[in-house]
Amino acid sequence: MNKVWISASLSTAVMLAGCASSTGVLPVGPDTYSISAGASSARGGQAGARGAALKEAGEYCAKAGKQILVQDISGSSALAGPLDISQNSNVIFRCLSASDPDLKRPNLETRPDVVIQDRR
């Protein structure tokens, strides 16, 4: 009986660890939106979270008949359980018409992990 319960518990834990989650698309300004997605290492970790967020953002713009323009992508990690780390990706994007002059190739830059300021 205990072996069956342990097996069922482990199966449930593995299924929950494999889930990806999303905040959904949230407006943050005119034609500008934010979405955050999380994925366990079983779902691709940081790359899986980023892919899920970008896919949902692109689909959101496509439904409105517009194109996506990514403004910023960032990520973070959190302990999801004793055996897994959840990776999160945050995407800020705009949905623009094909004729919008602001629709151009994005210039995404990696932010430094540490910023040193001289306040003299």
Q: What is this structure's pTM?
A: 0.69
Domain boundaries, the chain: 19-96
Q: How far apart are CA 63 and CA 65, in angstroms?
A: 5
How does strand 84-96 pair with strand 32-39? antiparallel
pLDDT at 21: 83
pLDDT tens figures, 15-65:
444 456 888 999 999 999 999 998 877 778 888 888 999 999 999 999 999
Which fold is adopted by the domain 19-96?
A: Immunoglobulin-like (2.60.40)
pLDDT tens figures, 68-77:
999 998 887 7
CB 37 within 8 A of CB 16: no
Number of residues assigned to the chain: 120
